[in-house]
Amino acid sequence: MKIGVFDSGLGGLTVVQAMTQVIKGAELFYIADTKNAPYGEKTHEQILQYSLEITQYFIDTHQIDALIVACNTATSAAIQHLRKHYPSLIIIGTEPGIKPAIELTNTGKVGVLATPATLKGDKYQQLVNDLALEKDVVLFEQACPGLVEQIEKGEMHGSITKTMLEVWLTPMRENSVDTIVLGCTHYPLVGEVIKRVMQRDLNLIHTGDAIAKRLLSLGQEKGHKNDGKLKITLYSTDNIDKQIISHILEGHTEVKQIDIQI
């Protein structure tokens, strides 16, 4: 199986990390579209265009069988379009894990951190409306402009990042939020800081494991054997912090990096 995975930068590697635990005998190509990051502060049309160009690149260059949109923002803007344009491709997107969060919360107070574009998108509103009928839960939604840039700069533990999170999380801490949805694939990279700021036992929800399992099951339906090594090739459209990559994909040795222009 040949798998194409993309995100605006390092965030989607949190999904790739989960895939390394589950997927075997496959070739994985990852594009970090750092030239156009952050997606979360771009228009719907721009994000759609980046997503279509990257998908076409994967198909033309690597003849992929499966596409993983390892980005909540791009999923919100482009997944419907992609499914319509590429009906024979396995396509899996990333959505904020509101459903597992609603199931896990004890206090009935759930925080949602995401990019401005994801929270504004129809897809998110639809998800929340559907789930609101299932259980009486209060959602604390917070857009986090600037957080992706801090993470891309390697400033996960820097003072600006901590101050941003302190401001955004204080209302959640004061209102007994016990479960936080990480609605952007970059945010697991600041999971430890979030836990420290919240000063309590906390469920942090991200969906990398669920995506990896779904890919395995859809791949096997199409004859994938899941045997042997997973080979990963990383591309970025502009600069990227290679040290952070090694840190996220710890233990995974077969990583090659090439700079491309899309």
Of residues 33-72, which lie at the interface with ligand DGL (CB under 6 A)?
A: 37-40, 71-72
17 in contact with ligand DGL (CB under 6 A): no
CA 219 vs CA 15, 61, 130, 172, 211: distances in Å = 17, 20, 29, 39, 12
SS3 label, residue 224: coil
Of residues 122-161, which lie at the interface with ligand DGL (CB under 6 A)?
A: 148
- CB 12 → ligand DGL: shortest distance, Å? 6
Q: Pick the closer one to ligand DGL by CB: 8 or 105.
A: 8
Of residues 171-190, which lie at the interface with ligand DGL (CB under 6 A)?
A: 184-186
Reply yes or no on whether 184 is catalytic.
Answer: yes
Record the tokens describing residue 179, joined without a space: 């479960």
Q: Indicate which single residue of 55, 118, 207, 237 sits in contact with ligand DGL (rule: CB under 6 A).
A: 118
Reply yes or no on whether 144 is catalytic.
Answer: no
CA 62 vs CA 27, 119, 216, 261: distances in Å = 10, 33, 19, 15
* Strand arrangement, sheet containing 179-182: 138-143, 109-114, 179-182, 203-205
Cα–Cα dist 121/116, whole Å: 9
What is the phi-psi region of residue 124: left when phi exceeds 0, alpha when psi lies from -120 to 50, beta otherwise? alpha
- Among 101, 182, 184, 230, the active-site one is 184
- CB 118 → ligand DGL: shortest distance, Å? 6
Summarize as ranges the residues that interact with ligand DGL (CB under 6 A): 7-8, 11, 37-40, 71-73, 115, 118, 148, 184-186
> Would you name the residues annotated as active-site residues?
71, 184
